[in-house]
Amino acid sequence: MSLFGAKPTTGLFGSSTTAASPFGQPATNAQPTGGLFGTATAATAPTGGLFGSSTATKPAGGLFGASTQATQPSGVEKPIPDQIATLMGKWRPDVPTTVFKEYFYNKVDESRVPFFQPQAFENPRDWEEALQNKPAPGYLPVLCTGFEGLATRLQLQRRTVAAFNAGLHEINTKLDSILSQHDLQTSVRALAARRRHAELSRRVLALAAKTQVLRNRGYALSGDEDDLKQKLQAIEKTMQDPALSARMEELWSRLIVLRNYADALRVEVNKRGVREEEGLGEDVEAKAKKIVEDYEKQLQHLKKEVEQIKVDFETWQKDNPQAGFAAAR
């Protein structure tokens, strides 16, 4: 056919096509024709002319007979700019909907916890949940958002630790001062007070003894007191006996001689070069041993006598202090 009212023509692989009129005449609908691999393809719907006529196309058959249709945007999905703004808002610390946040805890007095409330920029539900999950009583949740908030909290913790360290150093300084004052003043004063107390105790005891002696002046001694007086006089006479002094001097001179003899033996051994394992002769060792044993026996006897005298005197003085003073008079 001619340009005005053309007939359908045969297309590729035997399919017929229909041409639309360019001047507003409705074009004839083309029948479904066989497409590639025998599939049917839908022809275009009647369209208007070039001036003011509307055109529409039907869904075309796809590969292997499947029909295809243009994807229409869904009304549920947000626009892309809104999605980008939402994504940026989740990672911006200054936005309330950010996910870059975490609750930390501060230690406060447990009685003051009910007086604290979430701040204006905090979510009350999240704050209550953090309060329920506190590690121990007396802890209060504190919101921290972003790297700046975390850095601020770390700086605050560092300043707090520095303040605690300064307090500990001050306490140690005060303790050192107190210890120094104790060593230089308190201990010296305590030692002086102890000496003064001992002196006062001695003076009080002497005063009590004199008072007892004055109270018992003119009274006759009992039999036990008289016997003890005689024993004390005998002991005093024995201690003042020149023979005892001579005996002590004799023992002391023997000890000196024995020491000189031991020194001479040591010098003689060193001169002769006698080895340590050989030792002294048997005769020398026997004589030295006998002399030492004799002196030891004498010293033990004297020691026992002195200790017995001392015990008797202390016992008598403890039982009869006034009698002792009277006997001394």
DSSP 22: T
Residue 74 lies in a domain: no
Q: Residue 23: its pLDDT value, please?
A: 41
SS3 82: helix
Going by DSSP bridges, is the β-strand pair 16-17/40-41 parallel, antiparallel, or unpaired? unpaired
Contact 131, 141 (CB under 8 A): yes
Residue 182 lies in a domain: yes
Contact 15, 42 (CB under 8 A): no
Q: How far apart are CA 188 and CA 186, in angstroms?
A: 5
Q: How far apart are CA 185 and CA 175, in angstroms?
A: 15
Q: How far apart are CA 142 and CA 77, in angstroms?
A: 36
Domain count, the chain: 3
Q: Given 191, 215, 239, which residue is the final one in a domain?
A: 215
Q: Residue 270: its pLDDT value, please?
A: 74
Q: Assess whether 208 and 237 both reside in one domain.
A: no
Domain encompassing residue 15 = 1-59
Q: Assess whether 201 and 276 both reside in one domain.
A: no
Q: How far apart are CA 171 and CA 162, in angstroms?
A: 14
Tens digit of pLDDT for each residue in 122-169? 888 888 888 888 888 889 898 888 888 889 999 999 999 999 999 999
Q: Assess whether 87 and 210 both reside in one domain.
A: yes
Q: Residue 202: its pLDDT value, please?
A: 93
pLDDT band at 281 (very low <50, low <70, confident <90, very high): low
Picking from 23, 28, 26, 25, the residue whose alpha carbon sits closest to that of residue 9 is 28
Bridge partners for 104 per DSSP: 142
Residue 75 lies in a domain: no
Q: Residue 196: its pLDDT value, please?
A: 95
Tokens of 172: 């140690």
Residue 52 lies in a domain: yes
List Cβ neighbours of 29 (8 Å cut-off, separation of 6 or more): 18, 43, 44, 45, 46
pLDDT band at 232 (very low <50, low <70, confident <90, very high): confident
Q: Assess whether 191 and 120 both reside in one domain.
A: yes
The number of beta carbons lying within 10 Å of the beta carbon of residue 207 is 10
Bridge partners for 139 per DSSP: 107
Q: Assess whether 32 and 153 both reside in one domain.
A: no
Residue 97 lies in a domain: yes
Q: How far apart are CA 302 and CA 312, in angstroms?
A: 16
Q: How far apart are CA 237 and CA 212, in angstroms?
A: 27
**3-7, 227-231, 290-294, 304-308: lowest mean pLDDT where?**
3-7
Q: How far apart are CA 239 and CA 31, in angstroms?
A: 160
Residue that is written with structure tokens 């403890």 in the block? 318
Residue that is written with structure tokens 């049917």 in the block? 40
* pTM of the model as a whole: 0.35
Residue 65 lies in a domain: no
Q: Mean pLDDT score of the chain, rounded to an integer?
A: 73
Q: Assess whether 14 and 115 both reside in one domain.
A: no
Once rounded to an integer, what is the mean pLDDT over residues 183-203? 92
Residue 73 lies in a domain: no
E strands present in 67-216: 101-107, 139-145
Contact 20, 29 (CB under 8 A): no
Tens digit of pLDDT for each residue in 45-100? 344 443 444 444 444 444 444 444 444 445 578 888 888 877 877 777 777 778 88
